[in-house]
């Protein structure tokens, strides 16, 4: 089941739109990248809470930190690719941005899973992220 996630919901959405217009693909990739960025920030807040509450181990946090620092380098590259793709109308470049999006989403999902198992809950704006097992 986990592998299904790794292959990714976002990838599915993008692949389903392989014949869409360049504008539509840019909209999908762009909105998805924003969603991924939001998810990264939210996950970061939850990992900090989990570490403070000792429901996340130091080792788990170190793994998260390593991934997070790489994410902070790779995410802007994906956005740059999106910008380039838009500027020159190049669908190949947009495809690279989508690939990065898919990879980062799969990796971030693993940490989201850790948070779920640790049963961490936090109010984020008007929404509540409930991660506890019932």
Partner 1 sequence: MQYSTLETNNTMEQIIVNLVLAVTSAIPDVIKAVKASTVLNTEEKEALLNALSDRLHKSVEEVKAVKFKDVDNE
Query: How many chain residues are in contact with partner 1, going by CB under 8 A?
Result: 58
Residue 13 as a binder of partner 1 (CB under 8 A): the answer is: yes
- What sign does the dihedral 87-90-91-92 (CA atoms) show? negative
Closer to partner 1 by CB, 92 or 127: give it: 127
Give CA–CA dist 110/82, Å, rounded.
Answer: 25
Q: Which residues bind partner 1 (CB under 8 A)?
A: 1, 5, 9-10, 13, 20-21, 23-24, 26-28, 30-35, 37-42, 44, 48, 51, 58, 61-62, 64-65, 68-69, 71-72, 75-76, 79, 82-83, 86, 105, 109, 112-113, 116-117, 124-125, 127-134
């Amino acid at each position: 089941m986990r592998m299904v996630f790794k292959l990714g919901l976002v990838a599915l959405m993008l692949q389903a739109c392989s014949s869409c217009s360049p504008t539509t693909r840019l909209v999908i990739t762009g909105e998805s990248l924003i969603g991924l960025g939001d998810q990264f920030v939210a996950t970061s807040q939850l990992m900090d809470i989990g570490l403070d509450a000792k429901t996340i181990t130091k080792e788990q946090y170190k793994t998260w930190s390593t991934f997070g620092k790489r994410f902070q380098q790779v995410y802007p590259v994906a956005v740059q690719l999106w910008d380039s793709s838009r500027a020159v109308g190049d669908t190949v470049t947009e495809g690279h941005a989508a690939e990065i999006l898919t990879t980062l989403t799969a990796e971030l999902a693993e940490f989201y899973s850790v948070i779920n198992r640790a049963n961490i809950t936090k109010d984020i704006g008007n929404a509540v992220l409930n991660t506890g097992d019932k």
